[in-house]
Amino acid sequence: MTAPLVSVVMPTFNRLEYVRAAVASVYAQTFAAWELIVVDDGSGDETHRFLRDTPDERMSVVFHPHTGVPALVRNRGIALARGRYVAFLDSDDRWAPEKLEHQLALMESMPARRWSYTAVRRIDAGGLEIHSRSVPWVPYAGSILEQVLRIDAQIATPTVMAELAFVREVGGFDESMRFVEDYDLWGRMALRSEAAVDSTPLADVRSHLKHFTSDRAGNLAGWATLYAKMEKLVPTRRLRTLCRKRKREHLLSLAAQQARSRDWAGMRQTVGAAARAGAANPLGWLRIARAAALPQQHAHATAATKSD
């Protein structure tokens, strides 16, 4: 097989009902010089049977023992990639047919910008568009480190394309992080290169009940870890102050969530981390106290509601 221009990395785990559409959306691309590397994180027999029946040599499958760590699974694909560019597609999402063609043209028109992203559509489990959006999507381009740290730049993983060498230079995904490993990578890329953006929604991101990020405590812990890391990397005092502030906020929110879930050991550890970080928000501490004081039955109901 001729070396592809774009390597598409797709992690999957037991998502047979969605992975068919994800793979089909790659094969439907108007740009054809790609390779698809599917890294299966220990799926069951049905998914294995589907993945073993690859349509042609452009698609390869790596069967990996189950880890539950998306960063590790994606990095396995990155290590095997052969293209000049790498693009990411989760197995429950899908691309518009012109996604690679449009984004390649964008990146080749701005060679100094080593990564890019696009607008996105949100869809439900059945593939219908979800029109409600609490925060408007804004196409931030250029030096967007601060926008990434503030989450003003809404960057969905299936919209990102980057130079493969650049992703490897910054270290790929952090395998110690089970959550928000995507924004951790966007932050490190934004430290080193301006970003290009296409305002066309070229990817569909699916919301469904099996979504990995439904673990609220894990997600909050991930954000706290991200800001602790970025505090040491960002180049200005103002951004370090922003990282410290966001780290404290997420630690306080995590402790309150752990109290609702009756994870007392975790709560004590997080409270200690928040205190050492200098968290002084009275309302945040009050939320922790109130959550800890809730009757057990009500606390469990609240935690379940928050994780939906």
| Residue type present at position 225 | T
> What distance lies between CA 151 and its chain's CA centroid?
12
Domains of the chain: 6-210 (3.90.550.10), 215-306 (no CATH)
pLDDT digits (tens, 9 = 90+) for 126-171: 878 887 767 889 999 999 999 999 999 999 999 999 999 999 999 9
Residue 31 backbone phi and psi in degrees, to 5? -100, 130
pLDDT digits (tens, 9 = 90+) for 23-82: 999 999 999 999 999 999 999 989 989 999 888 999 999 999 999 999 999 999 999 999
Residues with Cβ < 8 Å from 89, sequence gap 6 or more?
8, 9, 10, 22, 25, 26, 95, 158, 203
pLDDT of residue 186: 98
